[in-house]
Chains A and B, each alone.
Chain A
């Protein structure tokens, strides 16, 4: 692709400065929208663009916006900038290098649902980014793009950052809301859904940073233009975070539908010299472990194709590449330890299940496990499935089950026969 749509700092130096961003179409979409469009028209345009949420679940963005009831006020918008899935580092690059496009996107979403106060929930580790965004929000207030009666439109909007303090679960939207309300980050029972009863019990829209960054170009150039990229069911561009055993790790903005092979070999430069590709995980630590063969390499990275062909959701498109030097039992021990550490402890299957899986994999890593422990590990994972309060519990079992099913001999190397 000639020009980047999201990672525009790669084409335009200093686009993180307000002046430069404005010289390159910055805030044109927002100015157009607040002066000439109705909120419902904005939502309709986003709906027909086919944009799907980039936070992992791929839920259609415009449809989600429609869930907020119009008889309950105020409405809030919360940008999910918690970005804590192992292997994911795209929202951070957007906020650091093209921050105004993200802020403009948040402003557009806020207008669409008529929120007058919106929050950016950042993981606590993004302390520097939060301070930078605070400054940029001030810049926008100074030029009248934020605040009361923006540019005489009658619409008022204030943005605020809020820092978390180290807890992966706060990326889950209801745990995030709890945390923003000053509580422990533990998921809420649903229903009610946040769109109906969210922040402070009010209708709340939660969107990922990358989802929001897509909005200015969509509203400036139109839904049809956006549909010119990507696939029928997954329109547009996506930022793929490549990490692990790869020559050129980093973020790559590409149309949805690019194949695994192109991403890994053409863009990522393949695995280190002398090694061969063994497996991939496309949704960070929450992924199935997918065996790399030609069929996998030919699979287009889009929401529908990853599911249909590989049975593994695209998720946040944070692709962890694994080569033949890696033992999958070790890898699974890593993911299990992550989830054991991050389980919020609210429900028993996840709290106990991640604890037991972690003790079994730890035993394996000390080479003190027996052959029966392999099946025991898998059984604990299967017992958890379908019983956890939020998706974290389920996520913790993905690598375990697929790892054992597909790479059993790697586990056998870690047990006494």
Chain B
């Protein structure tokens, strides 16, 4: 039984329709994003599902999964706070910003907060160099940019997300 197909039949049909009928392999990356949407990482049992939909081997899909940094193979925080510390941003203080933020959150770069909500990572250029410090928030199947940040501003974003998670937990 193909769990992925059963869960997202319409979306998968839409994804496949974007490529020529004999080129289903092109759907691999969109399908990996889909598989990652719910839990923030690609559960290993979905690889067989994607293999079945696209007609390529599980080994090939695993190599694609491992190649790209936006795909996660292991569970991490619900949200990834990915801070750009590449050269142009570093020239505008992003390394200090990352360090202070990590201190405030009680984590080291690459670690996840105790509540399991936030993994903080340093990443390469995100095409926002003129608005450093900045980070992208990856989670819940979305990616959003937060630019011209200060540690205070970012902590406010984090608090709002914590509040949202609490509400969701309370509402079951």
Residues of chain A touching chain B, judged by Cβ–Cβ distance below 8 Å, are 83-89, 91-92, 117, 123-128, 160, 162-168, 179-185, 200, 241-245, 249-251, 284-285, 320, 322, 326, 331, 334-335, 338, 341-342, 344
A-B contact pairs, 6 of them (CB 8 A): A83-B127, A125-B143, A128-B143, A243-B88, A285-B87, A320-B87
- Which chain B residue shows the least CB distance to A184? B67
Contact (Cβ within 8 A) A87 B143: no
A242 to B131, CA, bound (A): 11
Contact (Cβ within 8 A) B68 A244: no
A117 to B125, CA, bound (A): 30
Which single member of B67, B71, B136 contacts A125 (CB below 8 Å)?
B136
When distances are taken between beta carbons in the complex, the residues of chain A under 8 Å from B25 are 181-183
- Which chain A residue shows the least CB distance to B23? A200
Closest 3 CB pairs of A and B: A165-B68, A166-B69, A182-B28
Count the B residues whose beta carbon is within 8 Å of the partner chain — how many? 41
Residues of chain B touching chain A, judged by Cβ–Cβ distance below 8 Å, are 18-20, 23, 25-30, 32-33, 54, 56, 60, 63-64, 67-71, 86-88, 90-92, 124-131, 136, 142-145
Contact (Cβ within 8 A) A334 B63: no
* A162-B26 CB under 8 A given contacts A125-B136, A334-B87, A335-B87: yes
Which single member of A184, A320, A341, A344 contacts B88 (CB below 8 Å)?
A320
* A331-B56 CB under 8 A given contacts A86-B129, A92-B127: no
A254 to B87, CA, bound (A): 25
**Nearest Cβ distance between residue B31 and chain A, in whole angstroms?**
9
Further contacts, 5 of them, CB under 8 A, given A166-B71, A182-B26: A85-B125, A89-B128, A243-B92, A249-B129, A341-B124
A125 to B69, CA, bound (A): 10
Contact (Cβ within 8 A) A244 B125: no
* A128-B145 CB under 8 A given contacts A88-B127, A163-B33: yes
Contact (Cβ within 8 A) B130 A165: no
* A251-B130 CB under 8 A given contacts A165-B68, A320-B87: yes
Contact (Cβ within 8 A) A182 B56: yes
A251 to B130, CA, bound (A): 8
Interface centre among A92, A125, A200, A322 (most CB of B within 10 A): A125
**Nearest Cβ distance between residue A14 and chain B, in whole angstroms?**
21
Which single member of A84, A244, A342 contacts B92 (CB below 8 Å)?
A244
Contact (Cβ within 8 A) A331 B143: no
**Nearest Cβ distance between residue B1 and chain A, in whole angstroms?**
23
When distances are taken between beta carbons in the complex, the residues of chain A under 8 Å from B87 are 86-87, 244, 285, 320, 331, 334-335, 338
